């Protein structure tokens, strides 16, 4: 008989973790009204509890509370939407009609940035500078799962010109925005990701992305771009 794993969560807690992972969605439609009391603080705490390479903690979180700054972010996102549509002429009409953010209606807006002087942290990233971004992505994923556990929607907006957002948020030289997050109450968490239901992509079978020892010569080609 195998020994009991005393470190494992009980069945209910384990199921709750997996449920949050599998039902998390990129939210773009929000109900009006504030978040429940204390929810934002709890979600932000999970961001700062994320793992980071070399314990560098590269994330910086800017809460946008000024209406004029939120409006300027909306303008920057819409400008990039138009630029992206121009770069995807075969799907431009679809992209221009697609709801890509909920900045106008969400309860909270958080800009996530990489700190300045990231390059000085070389432990674990000397040859992989992308590890700073990977660490920040872990913080965002923590927020996403915590928000789902709270029954709160979170949407990650990546349609923006980084330098313009950095200037808008008065970031120091070397700091770089990597995400605009929208948080708010939602009417539902769809059973399937929105982009999947709209035909922008599909969830690949697990067998197509798990290899053993080497990348197989007969692996399926990477899916064609849009």
- Containing structural domain, residue 141: 25-186
Let me know if residue 170 belongs to a domain.
Answer: yes
Residues 6+ apart with CB under 8 A from 131: 53, 54, 124, 125
pLDDT in tens, 104-145: 999 999 999 999 988 888 888 888 889 999 999 999 999 999
Let me know if residue 30 belongs to a domain.
Answer: yes
pTM equals: 0.93
Amino acid 1: pLDDT = 57
Let me know if residue 210 belongs to a domain.
Answer: no
Where residue 44 sits, what CATH number does that domain have?
Answer: 3.40.109.10
**What is the end-to-end Cα distance of the chain in Å, rounded?**
51
Amino acid 224: pLDDT = 64
Let me know if residue 197 belongs to a domain.
Answer: no
Let me know if residue 42 belongs to a domain.
Answer: yes
Amino acid 119: pLDDT = 82
pLDDT in tens, 16-75: 999 999 999 999 999 999 999 999 999 999 999 999 999 999 999 999 999 999 999 999
pLDDT in tens, 188-198: 999 999 889 98
Task: Supply the mean pLDDT for the chain.
Answer: 94
**Ramachandran angles phi, psi of 105, nearest 5°:** -115, -15
pLDDT in tens, 173-183: 999 999 999 99
Q: Across residues 75-99, what is the average pLDDT?
A: 92
Burial of 209 (0-12, 13-18, 19+ CB in 10 A): exposed
């Amino acid at each position: 008989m195998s020994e009991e794993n005393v470190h494992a969560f009980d069945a209910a807690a384990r199921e709750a973790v997996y449920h949050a992972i599998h039902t998390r969605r990129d939210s773009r439609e929000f109900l009006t009204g504030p978040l429940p009391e204390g929810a934002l603080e709890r979600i932000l705490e999970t961001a700062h509890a994320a793992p980071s390479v070399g314990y560098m903690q590269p994330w910086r979180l800017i809460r946008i509370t000024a209406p004029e700054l939120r409006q300027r972010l909306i303008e920057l996102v819409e400008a990039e939407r138009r630029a992206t549509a121009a770069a995807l002429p075969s799907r431009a009409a679809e992209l221009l009609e697609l709801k890509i953010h909920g900045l106008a209606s969400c309860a909270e807006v958080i800009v996530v940035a990489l700190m300045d002087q990231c390059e000085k942290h070389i432990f674990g990233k000397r040859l992989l500078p992308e590890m700073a971004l990977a660490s920040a992505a872990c913080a965002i994923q923590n927020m996403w799962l915590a928000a789902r556990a709270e029954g709160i929607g979170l949407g990650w907006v990546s349609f923006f010109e980084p330098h313009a957002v950095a200037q808008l948020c008065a970031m120091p030289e070397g700091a770089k925005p990597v995400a605009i997050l929208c948080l708010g109450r939602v009417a539902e968490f769809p059973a399937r990701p929105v982009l999947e239901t709209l035909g922008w992509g599909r969830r690949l079978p697990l067998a197509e992305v798990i290899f053993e020892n080497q990348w197989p010569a007969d692996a399926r080609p990477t899916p064609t771009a849009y």
